[in-house]
Amino acid sequence: MEITFLGTGVAIPQKNRVQSGVLVRLEEKPLLIDCGSGVLNRFPEAGVSHTDVDTVLLSHLHLDHVADLHPLIKANWLRGNTSMKIYGPEGTEEWFSKVIDAYEYLQEEVDVDIIELVPGKEFTPEGFDCEISCTAATHSVPTLAYRVTGEDGEFVYSADTEPSRDIMDLAAEADLLIHECSFPSGMKVTNHTTPSSLADILEEYTNEIGSICLTHFYPEMRGHEREAVHRLKGYFEGEIIIAEDLMKLEL
């Protein structure tokens, strides 16, 4: 299982970080988790064809996680691939339909299947040899954290969230937890995570998770990356990784 971070940033433009997107290769078949602005252009940089993607998991519907989804569908159509399955939280079908209704020519050409999920759902996407489960994240809109279990390993993607025991329970015994870390310690935030707030809950799970990779950085985090790692090392025994765009991890 190979994980490529296509985008590790947020809605605010930053050098070398586009918006959220993670590509998971499972036995050569790619699964895309989130598709924010800039993610589509990362495909050639990552050495992956966008036309290989026919399945997308959406954590939630904020623009920095979905802005390039319709452009991806159009790009695939222009290269002869017209089918797409999209899994997401409550409201995904209504949102998708409203956007694509503005592009009648595209609506008539593509076959998009929307599957809305509820926390606790377990499923296997068509064409994949893996199991996926989800739980609710703590964010300002309905948001799902995902656990992907394949033959070679398993990981959890927290999505945008405050630290959550539900997500930590989902990550128990996983090889990797990809967790957002939007702001540095000392900032008062809601709906997001800082190293301090993550450390407060992480100590209870230090022996249950293999490694942690931090992502979804606001500009305020620039220059605080080492500080974040140092803060968490006192509470977690595994490796702590700072995600960068186009970085690859193998499980």
Among 34, 54, 64, 160, the active-site one is 64
What residues contact residue 102 under an 8 Å CB cut-off, 6+ apart?
Answer: none
Active site annotation includes 245: no
195-202 vs 225-233: helix axis angle to the nearest 10?
Answer: 20
DSSP secondary structure code for residue 220 in this structure:
G
97-135 burial: b if 16+ Cβ within 10 Å, else e: eeebeeeeebeeebebebbbbebeeeeebeebebebbbb
Q: Locate tokens 């993610």: which residue?
A: 39
Angle, CA of 177, 181 and 184, to the nearest 5°: 145
d(CA 179, CA 112): 29
How many Cβ atoms sit within 10 Å of the Cβ of residue 227?
A: 14
Task: Say if residues 210 and 176 touch (Cβ distance below 8 Å).
Answer: yes
Task: Say if residues 184 and 217 touch (Cβ distance below 8 Å).
Answer: no
Q: Locate tokens 């050495």: which residue?
A: 47
Residues noted as catalytic: 64
